[in-house]
Amino acid sequence: MKFVFCSFCTNATNRKGFTLLELLVVVMIIGLLTSIAVPQYNRSVRRAEMMEGLSHGKTIYDAALRYKSVNGEGPTNFNQLDIGFAGATINGSSFVDGNFTYILYPAQKKVTVQSNVGGYRLDMLFPTVSSTGVSAPILCCPNRGDKNAEWLCKTSSGGATASGGCYEIK
């Protein structure tokens, strides 16, 4: 004759739950995976944001080059370009659209895309002709002290440093 004193005794065949140690191990594994995945996700989001700004800035840059080829000199404001900006309020040579501020610098012959959420700007310089050929660099310039923006600019450029702490995007 066998007597059972409790229904939750430590008999291995009657065990229906997890021990506290097993739950702690699972929580630690999930925490470790999260600590690796979240920074990588944030970097991917910042890189996608930068590519969005680069794409829009390149469209503006190309329109400015078309204007220059037709008129002999670069545009002085965005209203002169042959492209539209849906939903954006254009204030002469600058406007804000989403996460970026777009600025046209006629004197410096460049279009700048300033990130409003990241710590960097993209400078797209108009082409210059020299004895070595035509140069039209696109520069990624991180704000001072922003290590994430510096990483973003450096990896987008392949590490090629240009003047003033900027990186030339290739």
- Whole-number Å distance between alpha carbons of 170 and 168: 6
Among 26, 76, 61, 42, residue whose Cα is nearest residue 139: 61
DSSP category for residue 17: S
Give the chain as a DSSP string.
------TT-S-GGG--S--HHHHHHHHHHHHHHHHHHHHHHHHHHHHHHHHHHHHHHHHHHHHHHHHHHHHSS--SSGGGSS---TT--EETTEEEETTEEEEEETTTTEEEEEESSSSEEEEEEPPEEETTEEE--EEEEEPTT-HHHHHHHHHHHTT-B-GGG-EEE-
44-82 residue pLDDT tens: 888 888 888 888 888 888 888 888 889 888 888 888 888
- CA angle centred on 32, ends 29 and 37, rounded to 5°: 125
Q: Does residue 169 have a pLDDT over 60?
A: yes
Interval 16-46: pLDDT, tens: 788 999 999 999 999 999 888 888 888 888 8
**pLDDT 10s digits, 115-141:** 888 788 888 888 776 677 677 788 888
- Tell me: pLDDT of 3 over 70: no
- pLDDT bin (cut points 50, 70, 90) of residue 8 is low
